[in-house]
Structure 1
Amino acid sequence: MNANGTVTISFVEPPVSLNPGGSGGTASPTPTPTGTPTPGPSTSDAPADIKAVPFWKGADVSWKAPTKDGGSPITGYEVTVSTGQICVTDKLTCRLTGLKPGQLLQLKVKAKNAVGFSAPAKMQGAKVFIPLSINLWQVKPFKDAPKAKLLSPAQLRTLRAMLVQDAGGFTITVRLARNSSKLSIAKMRTLLVDETKALRAQLRAAGLLGKVTIVSDIMPPNSKAKRPSVILVARRP
């Protein structure tokens, strides 16, 4: 009431709350939905169980598919040789050719999907040894087997150098050609008993018999040879 006897009544609006059920006039942010985002595809695991079977100037390589493909199908594989050669395939095998005989090689295999290549998988154990071929002229006629010399001094030196270089044993594989001016697969044969004895005697005299093993084999002969020969292959056991 003022001095004139008038009564003034004031109305004050209460503050509007933007936070339903709460106090104060500050607006609360809209809650953000929570959850784990779905990851996209990635590169696959590396291939496994790499194996290689060497042959004259080449090797057949095989492996198993990766356990996990990274969410994207495997579309192919890449085999890399330590010499720089590359083999690309969509299978679980690959034939390498044109390799230099006498080489020790390391192999790596990678799997590929839509994202890219996996980490390379290395072959476990020893490196691949590409067989070394040595021409061995046939003894004609084969007489006095125990004293016959099937290997030349140069061939013996080569075998000895290979053993020293690799510090391991080798298997000697031999096939003899029949007496002929032309060499063909049909005219190749394995060593006879007396011929094997002669070769063993020669290796024993050279101090190599305990370091190599003689077996028969079906290695392809050199069809371009000008005279009959055998194929002598030395490789890691």
Structure 2
Amino acid sequence: MTGTLYLIPNTLGEGDASALDLVLPAPVRARAASLHYYIGENAKTTRAFLKKVGTERPIQEIEIRELNVNTPAGEIDKLLAPLLSGTDAGLVSEAGCPAVADPGALLVRRAHERRVKVVPLVGPSSILLALMASGLNGQSFTFHGYLPVDAAERARRLRDLEQHSRKNRQTQIFIETPYRNRALLDTLLATCAPSTLICVAVDLTLPSEMIASRSVADWKKKPDIDLHKRPAIFLILAA
């Protein structure tokens, strides 16, 4: 009998253990504490998460293996091997829900191929939280991940997304590396039509949380917002 792969949500930012009560239900924390085998993007940050959650056995006795963008595809089966032998495992992301904008999706796909039971657990998703709070179209939306780094390519991509949003009345969602947030917002304001709605959601679930949803014209009147090195989600809806 194979083990079960539990998809364990993580918090969306730094904080003490008390912050877990706000974003992770007690049964999720209990399940996370009970597992003896973990797969995470970074072993050090996975241990830090487990210290906040609390574990039934000493952390040094919990096996933690890494799965990130540098993991060769051929290593996926090795990560699954303990599950195929009957051991339950937890897949945890650096922040938020695993396998969403996260390399863990490769492991989940392979788990299904090997008939391993996959159980997603409830926790924070910055993408959905931002969409919920944006006031934009929650019936039809697309998440695009990161946009091009090159300024000209990024502007072209944003024009394409705005045109698609206008044609289909669909919210477009994307993210950026925190230190490039300001550049992305500046490009949005320079590229999009005055009536296009832009929502910026920063530090979701943290005490410093800030969510603003305005037209491009209104953003230009008051663009002052501290985005430097803060995790943010960007959403647009073209009129």
Q: Please identify which structure carries the higher strand content.
A: 1
Q: Please identify which structure carries the higher helix content.
A: 2
Relative contact order (C-alpha < 8 Å, sep 6+): which is higher?
Answer: 2
Larger Rg: 1
